[in-house]
Chain A
Amino acid sequence: MNTVACYKVVPDAQDIDVNPDKTLNLDKAEMILGEYDLVAIEEAAKLAEATGGSAALLSAGGEKLNDTKLVKAALSRGAQELYCVIDPVLDSSDAFQTASVLAAALGKIDYDLVVCGEGSGDLYAQQVGSLVGALLGVPVVNAVSSIEAKDGAVVVERTLENEVEVLEVTLPAVVSVTTDINLPRIPQLKDILAAGKKPVVKWTLDEVGGLPESPVETVSVLAPENIERKHVVYESATDENIGELVTNIKASW
């Protein structure tokens, strides 16, 4: 089975500062691979290894995708090759636009299964995986917590709030995986050294059909306001305490 894992290069959340106007300051943030995407990469690599197939990586983004260290970081985790669509405008594309670009790129790649993380490491809209599947017109399943290869299909577990669905999904297909599906491997030096020699294919936006209009207008991306903790501790869940908690919450609005 040939797999493709999609990933996004995002700012390291622990280095993000919030400006006084609640906008985000990314100046000090190192760029890293999205933490949810590491799980997708691992699953795609594992499935390809288990079935004698090949695993590829795919990303759409701005100039940071040219960063050779990030390329090595991605390719040191089991995949054989990397495809990326690079254009500065993709730094601020929304989920639909990103999904359209990824879907168009996938049209140029031989794949059976596309694996996405459960959401991006920065905005975490959890949209891209499902949109990619819809745009490609193939089966798409999110919240997947286990994948098993079967002839021409995969059997997946889908963990919902109160139940686990077991679904047989015919290939080609797109899945978004939960973080508990695996523990991503830790690249060894030999993997890191080999990563630098693996093929990387770079496309411009034009080569994948350009960027569609966005149906959504992003007005702003702001950090939530910091609220000071009230340090009120309720010793037990009596009716009286619960009533007081409700009153306190309402009063703080």
Chain B
Amino acid sequence: MDFKKTEEQELLLESLKTVMERGDFENYFKECDKNHEYPQKAIDALVEAGFSTLGIPEEFGGTPTDILTQIMVAEEAHALGYPSLVWINFATEVDDILTFGNEEQQKAVLDYALQGIKPFTLGFTEPQAGSDSAAMATTATKRDGKVYINGNKTFNTSADRAPFMLCVCRSGINENPYKDFSMYLFPMDRPGITIEKLDKIGNNMCGTYEVHLNDVECEETDIVGVEGKGFYQLMKNFEVERLTICAANVGMARCAYDEAVKYAGVREQFGKTIGSFQLIQEKIVDMKIKIENMQNMLYKAAWKKMNGESIQIDSSLVKRYTGQAAFEVIDDAMQIMGGIGYTHDCRISRLWRDQRVYRIMAGTEEIMVHTAGRALIKEAQ
């Protein structure tokens, strides 16, 4: 078993480190977080260094990159303090459109993705349909050669910036909702679309919105893939997407750990460093164990996917574990920092606010029990 990164991976991560060092973004991120601003300067730096091209096929202007390497890059960026929910690589989103979209849709999405611009906000969750995705009620109705979209989507990240929405709608052709969903891709500036910003506790650099769709007129060609197959099409990449999300968890945990462990070695109380107290050492050791476990689980899942094995169970286990473990590591890091950790001056306070949603979004940790639990029992029979 070889745990060593390849030379190419090491050099790529060194390039990433150089981008982050040259940018010296720590104070910039603090300002963006405070002012609820999108960190455009950092995005530009990463895009200029080619990080938005990773994983996009060569014939479309990208650089073929395996999943594990993409995950390592996302993890490392977050470990170096890059904020969550504003990652600049959209290879997986692009793959959905490259697989199922028409040529025009492919071109539109690719142009944005290569520039590090989130091509579309995903219209999936609705106020009454969170974990229960079958309850989605947004409709796509055909009338006079057009399609009209009506409904409400929520928790749409970057709906203010994304040029398109990839919207999952009921088509009204099958009673079984999973066989009735279709995907439509339409520009966010179409008449009938209004957005409403949600006021949340973290991830201030990325706006999250409710999107109201009122008779949004689409062409029949705006459909992505096959009518009634939308849900299954979306499932093609959701496991890999889940792993990318988990990479942010590992990165954020590492970022908090690095700062706290350094602090423990220099902060003096009672005439010695707090790192010399065993209660602090215990925290550091347990934090490190969790980071190692998270990385091992995540990398192994990516490796399995790359080797053609199913990660149906793994992706749920990794999502549940990294969400919880990262939360615990960051919380312990704040505890080690003491009062300073609770101030906005300390980066850990931002991580503490930002990471919390990773236990909820893209499948709650409870739903991960639901998906993995059933599968594990079935597997044992």
Residue of A nearest to B19 (CB): A186
A186 to B21, CA, bound (A): 12
A187 to B19, CA, bound (A): 10
Interface string of B74-113 (1 = CB under 8 A from A): 0000000000000000000000000000000000000000
A189 to B49, CA, bound (A): 9
What's the nearest-Cβ distance from chain B to residue A180, in Å? 15
Tell me if B11 and A187 are in contact (CB < 8 A): yes
Chain A neighbourhood of B69, CB < 8 A: 189
Interface string of B2-43 (1 = CB under 8 A from A): 000001101110110011001000000000000000000000
A76 to B14, CA, bound (A): 12
Contact partner, A72, options B8, B53, B54, B65, Cβ 8 Å = B8
Tell me if A186 and B15 are in contact (CB < 8 A): yes
A97 to B76, CA, bound (A): 42
A192 to B53, CA, bound (A): 14
A188 to B49, CA, bound (A): 6
Count CB-based A-B contacts (< 8 Å). Answer: 42
Tell me if B50 and A188 are in contact (CB < 8 A): yes
What's the nearest-Cβ distance from chain A to residue B85, in Å? 24
Chain A neighbourhood of B15, CB < 8 A: 186-188, 192
Tell me if A73 and B11 are in contact (CB < 8 A): yes
Q: Which of A170-197 contact B (CB under 8 A)?
A: 183, 186-190, 192-193, 196
A72 to B8, CA, bound (A): 8
Interface assignment of B63: CB less than 8 Å from any CB of chain A:
yes
Instruction: List 6 A-B pairs, minimum CB-CB distance, nearest first.
Output: A188-B50, A69-B7, A186-B49, A192-B11, A190-B63, A186-B15
Chain B neighbourhood of A189, CB < 8 A: 8, 12, 50, 53-54, 63, 65, 69
Chain B neighbourhood of A69, CB < 8 A: 7, 10-11
Interface residues on chain B, size class: 10 to 19
26 contacts between A and B (CB under 8 A): A69-B7, A69-B11, A72-B7, A72-B11, A73-B14, A76-B11, A183-B22, A186-B19, A186-B22, A187-B15, A188-B49, A188-B50, A188-B63, A189-B8, A189-B12, A189-B53, A189-B54, A189-B63, A189-B65, A189-B69, A192-B8, A192-B11, A192-B12, A192-B15, A193-B8, A193-B63
Tell me if B7 and A186 are in contact (CB < 8 A): no
- CB within 8 Å for A196 and B8 given contacts A188-B63, A189-B54: yes
What's the nearest-Cβ distance from chain A to residue B280, in Å? 26
What's the nearest-Cβ distance from chain A to residue B334, in Å? 28
What's the nearest-Cβ distance from chain B to residue A185, in Å? 9
A68 to B7, CA, bound (A): 8
Residue of B nearest to A73 (CB): B11
What's the nearest-Cβ distance from chain B to residue A101, in Å? 27
Chain A neighbourhood of B49, CB < 8 A: 186, 188
Residue of B nearest to A71 (CB): B7
